[in-house]
Structure 1
Amino acid sequence: MKKHTIAVIVNDQPGVLQRVSGLFGRRGFNIESITVGTSEEAGLSRMVIVTSGDDHTLEQVTKQLYKLIDVIKVIDLSSNPMVARELALIKVSAEPSARPEILGVVETFRAAVVDIGTHSLMVQVVGDTEKIDAMVELLKPYGIRELSRTGVTAMIRGNAK
């Protein structure tokens, strides 16, 4: 099983996200991550979807997506060199005595403290999925109170469109 990252350019219309995610569910394909936002073109949105499967699975997903009326273009980002990023906000228990250690982890990951409470810190980290996973693992011993992740967003590197 290989991870595939695909971009789907769709009309910015109500119900499109539901139709795309429903297609995955009906076909038994799992969505590991999905992000949606406006694109460079007015009236169009870009969905970045991470799913797992073999090349045949990806081919089937692509064919099925093109059958949806609001789908304009499907791009297999993972078949090209790409930049992929995710954002996480992590609220960690942080008594004053533990803060220097936690700040050391934050600094190592080039993350940032975005909120300080009397007994907690909120950390923002941006990077690839592996970086986020590694930071979460290092912060677990301190006690993660809340965790919110955006999911992957990605683009092909260089001049390719």
Structure 2
Amino acid sequence: MSEQRHTISVLVNDQPGVLQRVSGLFGRRGFNIRSITVGESEEPGLSRMVIVTSGDEHTLEQIQKQLYKLIDVIKVVDLSSNPMVGRELALIKVGADPSARSEILGVVETFRAAVVDIGTNTMIVQVVGDSTKIDAMVELLKPYGIKELSRTGVTAMTRGLGSKG
């Protein structure tokens, strides 16, 4: 079985320490977290964690079983087993001498990104999309000198009117 990325939605009680217990479970079991986002869900008192991890099907099954053992975990769904929409946001501060700005703006326009700040010799670019798009944008901006990079991690949900995850 090959190792692949999995995007998991975990509905949890909105309680102090839940994030620590979930991330601790991954660490103790040797499962890697590629990204994790947490925020309010559509249900009051519940938060949704979206975790991107990697492993084979057996690893995914073990992760799901272990998560269900945590008292504050309500529901675990493998979003990547269905058609899904996954998005990430990145802020990229790039070196931008006045002479390079038009080139950078060309890259920004191509990626449907936005310049959210312009300094004397820097620009901050905001880009939203799937992780592949973010990676490509970062690669194209590297020649200008990336001064700082901040990525949110993936948030996701299944497409259409199917089951909630």
Same fold by TM-score greater than 0.5: yes
CA distance in 1, matches of 2:136, 2:49: 26
Q: Does 1:132 align with 2:108?
A: no
**What secondary structure sits across from 1:95 in the alignment?**
coil
Give the match for residue 59 of structure 1: 61
Give the match for residue 91 of structure 1: 93
Give the match for residue 77 of structure 2: 75
Shift of 1:127: 0.1
Give the match for residue 34 of structure 1: 36
TM-score by length of 1: 1.00
CA RMSD in angstroms, aligned pairs only: 0.3
Q: Does 1:15 align with 2:17?
A: yes
Deviations, residues 44-85 of structure 1 (Å, cap 9, x unaligned)? 000000000000000000000000000000000000000000
CA distance in 2, matches of 1:61, 1:7: 12
**What secondary structure sits across from 1:92 in the alignment?**
strand
Which amino acid in structure 2 is aligned with residue 35 of structure 1? T
**What secondary structure sits across from 1:10 in the alignment?**
strand
Which amino acid in structure 2 is aligned with residue 127 of structure 1? G
- Off by >2 Å, runs of 4+ in structure 1: none
Shift of 1:119: 0.5
- The number of residue pairs the alignment matches comes to 161
Percentage of matched positions with identical amino acids: 84
CA distance in 1, matches of 2:154, 2:30: 21
CA distance in 2, matches of 1:66, 1:59: 11
Structure 1 unmatched runs, 5+: none
